[in-house]
Chain A
Amino acid sequence: MDFTFSEEQEMFRAMFRDFSAKEIAPQAEELDHEEKPALGALRKAAQQGFLGATLPEEYFGAELDYTSYAMLIETLAADSVSTAVTLATHVSLVAMSILNHGTPEQREEWLPLLAAGEVIGAFALTEPDAGSDVQAVATRATPDGDQVTLDGVKTWVANGEIAGLFLVFAQGAEGMDAYLVPQDTPGLTVGYREPTLGLRSATFNTLYLEGCRVSEANRLGQPGEGGSIAQQAQDRMAVALAAAGLGVSENAIQVAAQYATERVQFGVPIAQKQAIQGYIAEAKIEVEALRYLVYHAAWLVDQRGDYGFDASVVKAFGARVARSVTNRMVQVMGGYGYMEDYPMARKYRDARALHIIGGPTELHDFQIAQRIFADLDMDIAP
């Protein structure tokens, strides 16, 4: 087992850091407070190849391995979890779904555009009555000759407001199907943008599909394969979100530790106080544990086996660490951890999202237990 990053990966990390410091960090606070997507930064990211991070060169992607890509997400999240989530939705949920399940024609048509950032991808699975329970998806795909009509409502569509392409999941004759629906397709309306606690520079919209007709050729994969496509996408996203959790946690510790060296109370910097030392140390322990869990999971993605179990573990742990660490680091910063003109409050609000987006932690707990009991030949129900 070689636990070192390759020279190339270390180079990437340095490059990601430079990029984030220059393009993401300076506006992160303002974009969050004004709830604006970081479109300028996304364009710059596209120029660096980040929007096609894991796509092969033939589609103008950067052909990064998933570990390097996880590093990218981690680095961006240190400055803006919103931007990291936006990018991860685009790459892990949408672009890689097309890469893994698309026909050569579909890949030719969409991947270069996604890699160039000319089209941003959005993922439309969740519905008002289908949150954790994906089987309850009610959006219908009704065949109509060589076309398909999509009818239904999707909520919490990440990247909804800025997307040019929607990956929509609907119930067809043989089970759930996945469809590629361009934003300008008649019958598709991007609606209400959710005002959120955190991730305020990301966009989550309601999507209306009313007699939205697409060609049958827009279906991704085989009829009835939608469920599997969605699960694999979410497993990839789980690893990315855990990487985001890692990034925001590590950065929170750095910011709070720096503050602790400067803030003097009772005659000494608070870094000299054992309780503060304890908070920082415990947070660091959690972050280190998460770090190797994330990279291991990212490595598994590249092995192309079944890593669903590990995805659930890393996502659940990543959410837990991000919540716990940002909460503690707010406490280290005291009143300044509560003020929006300091970065910690935003990190706290953003980190809280990780227990919910990409599947609530309770669902991941269930999936982990399901695997364990399956190994003992028992089926458990949610």
Chain B
Amino acid sequence: MDFTFSPEHIALRRMIREFAENEVAPIAAEIDRDHQVPMETMRKLGQVGLLGVCFPQEYGGMGAGEMGYCILMEEINRVCTSTGTNVGAHIGIGAMAIYLDGNDEQKRRYLIPLARGEQFAAFGLTESGAGSDAAAIRTRAVREGDSWILDGGKVFITNGGYADVVTVMAVTDPALGARGGITAFIVETDWEGFKVAREEDKMGIRGTSTAELVFEELRVPHENVLGKVGEGFVTFMKSLDMGRLTLGAACIGGAEMALESAVRWAKTRRQFGAELASKQAIQWKIADIATELEALRSLVYRVAWLVDTGQPFSQLAAMCKLYGSEVASRAIDIALQIHGGLGFSRDFPLERGFRDARIGEIYEGTSEVQRIVIASNIFREHGVRIRP
């Protein structure tokens, strides 16, 4: 077993770290405070090729695989969860769906500009009645000649407010339900009938757009069906699987940010005549974060390797997301506590990290959904079928 990163991945990480420290870290506080998407930074990421990190070079990407994408997510989230979330929704689920199930024409038309950061993507699945129960979506798509007419809406769509392309899941056959009744569509956001209805006011990741989308007689050409009609459920499950892995990678970054802050403060701050680092309560907490972080790191990069070598990874990806989000939450909570009052102040970045981390256990499949997936997979191997 070779646990080293390849030279190109080591070089990639250094490039991203340089970019993250120079371009992303300086804006992190501001985009949170002003509730702004970092469009300029997103464009710069595109210019150096990072928004196509995992896509093949023939489709405008860098060809660095899931390994490269996990490295990107780790390094960006280490300095700014909001920017990381914009990137993750764009690459990891929005463009990813097109990469996984698009035909060559669709990849040339959509994936290339997305990989180059010339356009931005979002993933349109969640609805007000379909959160954890994603199969309960009701947005309807009805065939009309060589088009489909979409009616309905989506909520909590990351990047929804500015995406150029959204991969939308709609019901094409209500009678069939999830198996055979859902289809994925590539929708261009400047088409007639597509509207961004509102932006959510979130506790954290305030440098992101979380939008409500409304479709009113939105006409989508048949050639924009992604994958096969009726097989949308499969498309979105595959995209979510990939997304779960990379969210785990993002959480490595978040936990690292927390650990580094905690260590820096513990070695600087003096109370009762000694540095906090000399206190066992602090040492124990830091040791615990560091241990969990290493366990997460090993898990995530192992799963990235599984993806890049074409092996099954779905079960482990769910574990990455579940464990990662909980590790990151614990880590930032400890880092905040170590900073005392300063951790509670908005003049320091801990509380932003704290607010940002909390969404980890909720979006892209709550921890409850991940547990259902993991348990179902285990029991399926023993012949027992679990329904959520």
Contacts and interface: CB of A to CB of B under 8 A. Distances in A.
A–B: direct contact at CB < 8 Å: yes
Interface of A: 126, 129, 131-133, 135-136, 155-156, 194-198, 264-267, 273, 275, 330-331, 334-335, 337-341, 345, 348-349, 352-353, 355-357, 360-362, 365, 381-382
A252 B147 CA distance: 48
Interface in B169-223: 200-204
Contact of B362 (A194, A334, A341, A352): A334
Given A196-B346, A362-B281, A356 B133 contact: no
**Chain A CB within 10 Å — which of B271, B351, B387 has the most?**
B271
A304 B321 CA distance: 52
Interface stretch (B15-23, B224-232, B301-309, B365-373): B365-373
Contact of A338 (B202, B337, B345, B351): B202
A338 B201 CA distance: 9
Given A156-B341, A195-B346, A338-B359, A266 B133 contact: yes
Given A133-B272, A345-B203, A362-B281, A338 B343 contact: no
A54 to B, nearest CB: 27
B354 A339 contact: no
A147 B156 CA distance: 62
A194 B345 contact: yes
Given A338-B358, A340-B203, A194 B347 contact: yes
Given A197-B351, A265-B136, A331 B361 contact: yes
Given A196-B346, A382-B272, A131 B341 contact: yes
Contacts of A338: 202-204, 358-359, 362
B124 to A, nearest CB: 15
A275 B279 CA distance: 37
Contacts of A135: 272
Given A334-B366, A338-B359, A362-B281, A349 B345 contact: no
B203 A195 contact: no
B182 to A, nearest CB: 16
B201 A341 contact: yes
Nearest to B359: A338
A97 to B, nearest CB: 21
A349 B340 contact: no
B355 interface: yes
What is the predominant secondary structure among interface residues of chain B facing chain A? mixed
Interface in B339-388: 340-341, 343-347, 351, 354-355, 358-359, 361-363, 366-368, 371, 387-388
A331 B366 contact: yes
B370 to A, nearest CB: 12
Nearest to B367: A331
Contacts, number: 109
Contact of B340 (A136, A331, A335, A360): A360
B119 interface: no
Nearest to A332: B368
A337 B340 CA distance: 25
Interface in B102-136: 126, 129-133, 136
B203 A335 contact: no
A273 B369 CA distance: 12
Given A338-B203, A339-B203, A265 B340 contact: no
B283 to A, nearest CB: 12
B337 A349 contact: no
A291 B347 CA distance: 34
Given A132-B272, A339-B202, A348-B203, A265 B133 contact: yes
B202 A361 contact: no
**Chain B CB within 10 Å — which of A132, A337, A362 has the most?**
A362
A362 B362 CA distance: 29
Ranked 5 nearest A-B pairs via Cβ = A197-B351, A195-B346, A265-B133, A345-B203, A133-B271
Nearest to A360: B340
B371 A339 contact: no
B345 A352 contact: no
Contacts of B282: 362
B261 to A, nearest CB: 15
Given A194-B346, A340-B202, 4 more contacts: A198-B344, A266-B388, A275-B368, A334-B366
A194 B351 CA distance: 13
27 contacts: A131-B341, A132-B271, A133-B272, A135-B272, A194-B346, A196-B344, A197-B344, A197-B351, A197-B354, A197-B355, A264-B129, A265-B136, A266-B132, A266-B133, A275-B371, A331-B361, A331-B362, A335-B362, A335-B363, A338-B359, A339-B200, A345-B202, A352-B354, A356-B340, A357-B344, A362-B279, A362-B337
Contacts of B366: 331, 334
B203 A265 contact: no
Contacts of B341: 126, 131, 155-156, 194, 356-357
Contacts of B201: 339-341
A376 to B, nearest CB: 19
A348 B358 contact: yes
A361 B345 contact: no
Contacts of A267: 133
Contacts of B340: 131-132, 356, 360
A281 to B, nearest CB: 16
Contact of A196 (B200, B279, B345): B345
Contacts of A335: 126, 131, 156, 362-363
B271 A131 contact: yes
Given A132-B271, A198-B344, A360-B340, A334 B131 contact: yes
A267 B178 CA distance: 14
A196 B200 CA distance: 21
A353 to B, nearest CB: 6
Contacts of A362: 279, 281-282, 337
